[in-house]
Structure 1
């Protein structure tokens, strides 16, 4: 009877140790996950545009052609459109001296936000900077929750519209009439210019001959 009690007690003790070890292991994994998420924690930026230009939730944000985030929200104001952008990681630092514009890419003309820096930044500033720190305000990088201005970039709709307008101008008979008048006047002007140069060269020739006779 005593052996059974001892065996049962030993079994319960071992089971308790295993359960405790399991919970310690889970707690350790949880701490590692928190540390990893903290390092990979992203930040947000507010970008103001005059027009949404087809931007929507989920639209990509590229930095030098590499995806670094996405559009989280599109807010329409009275005179502007404010885009809330989520940058995926705090390691993705964006120089303040950058141009931010919307471009159409791909087969289906998807609209993306392209960020292109206009100057180079030293590696020392890049490695030691955190967009959430107080020192970020004085740094050459954009900080978390900064409000910046965006512009319109490449847009195929505008290109097609401009091409259509140019073709319509060429189809206009008045354009050909004006072009014909301009071409005819240009030919007449060139003939008069050649006539003048011919007479001028002849006058210079006579002057040189007269000057040589005097000498």
Structure 2
């Protein structure tokens, strides 16, 4: 298991603070508008939001286990409007910030070296994989938000939630931290 270092939080009291992100993106401060119902400010990260997926749609995404990357359901109806599983949701959040996660399931994501890299010390926007065992197949995927917090979508809650790493450890099905992956491919990249 990996030791989770203390980091400056981006998510505090249901608000994302303006901070530089080490990967070079301006800031996940717009996650406030993706997440927090009290904020309807326009996106400040420089990303684009299409009319089909307005900013506030992220916090309203419902859990739909059959809607995973590469599924027929997603091919027939792309986007988050019909719901998402944990990976599809996490990848959409990363895409909002210009990162192109390949449409991989958790075990494929863990093995991937073409579009992502394993990291020991997570930074905001890194992917977090947890499971009941050390096996990456079937692992739950969320987005690291700093200070031990993870933005994720799970069946238990049914809507996006931010949990502390300890909240995952308290649940048997999420008790094992498999590790962290940093997506290295940006949207529009030919790589």
| TM-score above 0.5 | no
Structure richer in helix, relative to its length: 1
TM-score bracket, normalised by the shorter chain, equals under 0.3
TM normalised by structure 1 equals 0.20
TM normalised by structure 2 equals 0.22
